[in-house]
DNA sequence: CCTTGACACATAGTGACGCTAGGTATAGCG
DNA sequence: CGCTATACCTAGCGTCACTATGTGTCAAGG
């Protein structure tokens, strides 16, 4: 999977991962890898800044928790984040259809 | 269509457009717009450098022609370009499936 | 015990790459 | 004779994912 392919889609993917329920950053990375069957194996340095940005934009909210001695920052979709996810899905469909029309 | 979505896919789209047969740069832009029903309306400054790069990489070959007084540079896929297009199609499928697995 | 690896967070700097903005030139139309 | 469409080109910019690096906890193995 070429890294540049993600460009412009990373936000959608992270919103999509959190669509199933709240998760902390590291778990988002694992879940992305799992759902994509290994295709999206992102570095922490790729994902954490996106989480921060999405929170700053009001699409995510976070809260600190502690599990077995480790501090975790758990993110969840805000109402606006949920709306953004719906929009992302529609945008993806439009993009995918357009690409397929060209490559077909 | 957000511009950044193209990142990493632009080469594939241009190869795909030329997959149907040779065309000059301006026609590639028009054809991309047509096939994508307006979704990919790319500036010349976006497309021409890509054509040059793909030619430098040996995926395209070009020849100057003249049509009704205007000089045109007509590009065609090389054998390696055809192979690259096949690879691009497979990569797109993998990428699209992975995204859909996450967004679903 | 102490090293190694998994877990978990964070950020500064880099680099790739599409876009903006500007340039040249011909043809056809009102 | 301007205006629009056609047709090419390039330098510089801005965005955004990635690299590299740092901090700290916990469990497992030697």
Which nucleotide's C1' is closest to A69 (Cα)? D25
Closest Cβ–Cβ partner in B32, B92, B102 for A13: B102
Q: What pLDDT was estimated at residue B67?
A: 85
pLDDT in tens, A40-95: 999 999 999 999 999 999 999 999 999 888 999 999 999 999 999 999 999 999 99
Predicted TM-score (pTM) of the model is 0.91
Query: How far from chain centre, in Å, is Cα B41?
Result: 12
Interface of B with A in 14-73 (CB under 8 A): 16-17, 19, 32, 35-37, 39-40
With 0-12 CB in 10 A as exposed, 13-18 as middle and 19+ as buried, what is B75?
buried
Task: Tell which residue, A65, A88, A70, A104, has the closest CA to residue A18.
Answer: A88
């Amino acid at each position: 999977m070429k890294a540049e392919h993600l460009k412009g889609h990373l936000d959608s993917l992270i919103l999509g991962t959190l669509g199933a329920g709240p998760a902390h950053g590291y778990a988002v990375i694992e879940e992305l890898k799992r759902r994509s069957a290994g295709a999206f194996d992102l570095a922490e340095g790729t994902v954490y800044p996106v989480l921060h940005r999405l929170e700053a934009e009001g699409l995510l909210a976070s809260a600190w928790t502690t599990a077995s001695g480790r501090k975790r920052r758990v993110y969840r979709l805000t109402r606006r984040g949920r709306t953004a996810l719906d929009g992302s899905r529609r945008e993806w469909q439009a993009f995918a259809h357009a690409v397929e029309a060209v490559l077909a």
